[in-house]
Amino acid sequence: MTDVSIRRVRGGSRVYDAAAAGASYRTGVAATSSSTHTDPYATHSRAVSDLCQHYRALPPGAPVRLGKKTSNLFRFRPPTTGARLPAESLDRVLSVDPTTRTADVQGMVTYERLVEATLAYGLMPLVVPQLKTITLGGAVSGLGIESTSFRNGLPHESVAEMEILTGDGQVVTARPDGEHAGLFAGFPNSYGTLGYALRLRIELEPVQPYVRLRHLRFSDADEALATMAEIGADAAHDGDRVDFLDGVVFGRDEVYLTLGTFTDSAPATSDYSGQRIYYRSIQQRTEDHLSVADYLWRWDTDWFWCSRAFGVQHPLVRRLWPRRWRRSDVYRRLVAADRRWALSDRLDRLRRRPSQEAVIQDVEVPIGRTAQFLDFFHSEIGISPIWLCPLKLRSSNPWPLYPLNPDELYVNVGFWSTVPLGPGQDDGFHNRRIEEMVDALEGHKSLYSTVHYPADEFWRRYNGQDYEQLKRTYDPDGRLPDLYDKCVRMK
């Protein structure tokens, strides 16, 4: 790390200058546009003031949507006529303070940019969602998860304060205590229906340059989940510390756990952003080493395994497919175009194939019931591979709109594909079966994709009572859609 990368601003924290700082940990992205010539906090204040004026000038009753360049939502609503709130400029890391291990970050900063800024100081956010264009605001108001979640919980649990433009046009600073503590607790899983996060202060943790991976194979889910529970409790396996933990199910009798441990050196490192494919390596090797940046983005290059839908895993196509397009945001744009023009649907009809239902979900199931969920999933849904990621809340209090039990180790089960619809089955049939099973097993379902709950069930599961209270306080005129309208009715 070079000192020229750092400029002191208020209270001893330091403005981040990626161009100067990026040398110490390879991140694979170009330096950001951060500049040391203007005070980022002054620029931030001006941007907030412009945004508020814009918001207040919208005609009352006009639907509002957040204007940003990227999205990782998997609900493709019809092109909206709602007023767009231009928030793209709030995409900077304002400062990183290596002494307090905190960063001050604007709400639309992507994790790609955030990780680049913090790795320059040998630090990273406590949880880094796998997809490069997920933003901090998106991961906090929606939910995020990654392989540190068994020890660090979810991204919103390392937020110290948030500046929020609320539905009634005010800007408030919400903290775990004080006047807006209710909003702070209710913001995660509110999906921009109470307000928009404009700036967040987050905790960071130190990294080492490399991650050593061990891929353990199990011949059934019970055995794998028992090992996951042990590691979840001890953060260690066979006497070695475990810093990262996730898993992949390729079939009933082929389950892997991947254990990651920070190290200062590596005999050699792998690169899965070229011809080789990370998820295949799990089946092929028992040990591996990656630079910390390559580890954090290991799932982005092939969107876990979903790039295969575009042929990108075929050796010839992969050679021709430009490296800069091997990214999750490129694949998502292709899917969005496919949905907009209903290309796959038309092709299925032409080939007289059954219609397909998109089953793209992440659910959290208590670890003691995850084998049961997988059994159901193999029998009735049949998608593979499946991603497993353990998580335990960091906080001892539940978060009201996504009430996981703080004492429980959950497993996030992620599956992203399509399933044929049988005769008499309408679109939503498989997703609804999954919702019912998740509920029966006392799990929870993330809301970033399609949601099929009837209203009464939805509000029971996502704490309608607390939500209504927050909505009355922070968006009394209902300028932003409510959570049910947004997630289920896709408004």
Ligand X SMILES: Cc1cc2nc3c(=O)[nH]c(=O)nc-3n(C[C@H](O)[C@H](O)[C@H](O)COP(=O)(O)OP(=O)(O)OC[C@H]3O[C@@H](n4cnc5c(N)ncnc54)[C@H](O)[C@@H]3O)c2cc1C
Q: Judged by CB, which is closer to ligand X: 73, or 266?
A: 73
3-state secondary structure of 130: coil
Interface with ligand X (CB under 6 A), residue total 30
> Contact between 448 and ligand X (CB under 6 A)?
yes
Decide if 183 contacts 194 (C-beta within 8 A): yes
Q: How far apart are CA 354 and CA 261, in angstroms?
A: 45
How far is 118 from 121, CA to CA, in rounded Å?
A: 5
Q: How far apart are CA 295 and CA 60, in angstroms?
A: 47
Query: By CB under 6 A, is residue 118 in contact with ligand X?
Result: no
- Residue 302: CB minimum distance to ligand X, A: 12
Shortest spacing between CB 184 and ligand X, in angstroms: 13
| Dist CA 40 CA 94 (whole Å) | 6
Sign, CA dihedral 54-59-61-63, equals negative
75: nearest Cα among 468, 329, 452 = 452
401 binds ligand X (CB under 6 A): no
Q: Contact between 366 and ligand X (CB under 6 A)?
A: no
Tell me which residues in 296-355 interact with ligand X (CB under 6 A): none
Taking CB under 6 A as the criterion, the residue among 5, 118, 130, 189 binding ligand X is 130
Give 263 or 313: the residue with its C-beta nearer to ligand X: 313
User: Between 81 and 265, whose beta carbon lies closer to ligand X?
Assistant: 81
Residue 197 as a binder of ligand X (CB under 6 A): the answer is yes
Consecutive H or E run containing 486: helix 483-487
Per CB under 6 A, does 393 bind ligand X?
Answer: no
How far is CA 184 from its chain centroid?
Answer: 19
Per CB under 6 A, 431 contacts ligand X:
no
Q: Does 266 bind ligand X (CB under 6 A)?
A: no
Among 196, 297, 377, 415, binds ligand X (CB under 6 A): 196
Q: Which has the closest alpha carbon to 135: 126, 122, 144?
A: 144
Q: Tell how far CA 476 is from the center of its chain.
A: 29
**Judged by CB under 6 A, does residue 480 bind ligand X?**
no
Contact call for residue 416 and ligand X (CB under 6 A): yes
Point out which span in 131-139, 207-215, 282-290, 400-408 binds ligand X (CB under 6 A): 131-139
- Single out the residue of 84, 73, 144, 76 nearest to residue 114, CA to CA: 144
One-letter-per-residue 3-state SS of 17-85: CHHHHCCCCCCCCCCCCCCCCCCHHHHHHHHHHHHHHHHHHCCCCCCEEEECCCCCCCCCCCCCCCEEE
Enumerate residues 6+ apart whose C-beta is below 8 A from 282: 215, 248, 256, 258
Residues pairing with 206 in the sheet: 123
- From 205, 207, 200, select the one nearest 93 (Cα to Cα): 200
SS3 state of residue 278: helix
Residues 28-87 interacting with ligand X (rule: CB under 6 A): 66, 68, 70-74
Are 390 and 232 within 8 A, CB to CB?
Answer: yes
* 109, 145, 202, 411: residue in contact with ligand X (rule CB under 6 A): 145
**Looking at 136-144, 225-233, 346-354, 367-375, which segment touches ligand X (CB under 6 A)?**
136-144
Nearer to ligand X, 120 or 200 (CB): 200
- Tell me the closest approach of the beta carbon of residue 112 to ligand X, in angstroms: 11
- Residue 6 or 290: the one with the smaller Cβ distance to ligand X is 290
Asked whether position 400 contacts ligand X by CB under 6 A, the answer is no
Q: Does 135 bind ligand X (CB under 6 A)?
A: yes
158 binds ligand X per the rule CB under 6 A: no
Please report whether residue 138 would count as binding ligand X according to CB under 6 A. yes
- 21 or 367, CB closer to ligand X? 367
Smallest gap, in angstroms, from Cβ of residue 104 to ligand X? 14
Q: Give the residue, chosen from 107, 186, 247, 260, that forms a contact with ligand X under the rule CB under 6 A.
A: 107
Q: Which of 192, 247, 260, 385 binds ligand X (CB under 6 A)?
A: 192
Burial class (CB in 10 A: 0-12, 13-18, 19+), 127: buried
Q: Is 141 in the site for ligand X (CB under 6 A)?
A: yes
Q: Which residues bind ligand X (CB under 6 A)?
A: 66, 68, 70-74, 107, 129-130, 133-135, 137-139, 141-142, 144-146, 191-192, 196-197, 360, 362, 414, 416, 448
